[in-house]
Amino acid sequence: MPRDPLPSSGPPPRAATLRDALRRALRAGPATAKELSMDVGLRERDVAEHLAHLARSLEHRGEKLVVEPATCVACGFVFEDRSRLTRPGACPRCRSTRIDPPVFRIEGASSDG
């Protein structure tokens, strides 16, 4: 089978496709960054960055990305003031590294499309 040359008209809209996949995964139900990374084939650390962009584009649709904050399994500390979407490394109160990661979901306009 002959090999097709790579298209030269610019890169495919991969980032937009990824965000669409993230959005679909989140519309199916709440998920952690790790679950999303497996769903869409991203590294976990890259999911947060795409989610930040997705959150902005969702606003135009009347939707909202909701983040359930990470919590410390050991003492129950809630990482409420954490603005980043990544999982914290350790609890500032008890130093435990047993952290329940943040859970993401989409709220708002429900008709899919």
What ranges in the chain are assigned the alpha helix state H?
14-28, 33-40, 44-60
| 74 lies in the binding site for Zn ion (CB under 5 A) | yes
| Distance between CA atoms of residues 33 and 52, nearest Å | 12
| Distance between CA atoms of residues 111 and 108, nearest Å | 9
Nearer to Zn ion, 13 or 76 (CB): 76
Nearer to Zn ion, 47 or 70 (CB): 70
Considering only 36, 70, 72, 106, the residue that binds Zn ion (CB under 5 A) is 72
Residue 105: CB minimum distance to Zn ion, A: 24
Considering only 96, 97, 108, 109, the residue that binds Zn ion (CB under 5 A) is 96
β-strand partners of 103: 32, 68
| 93 lies in the binding site for Zn ion (CB under 5 A) | yes
| Distance between CA atoms of residues 81 and 22, nearest Å | 24
Applying CB under 5 A, the residues found at the interface with Zn ion are 72, 74-75, 77, 91, 93-94, 96
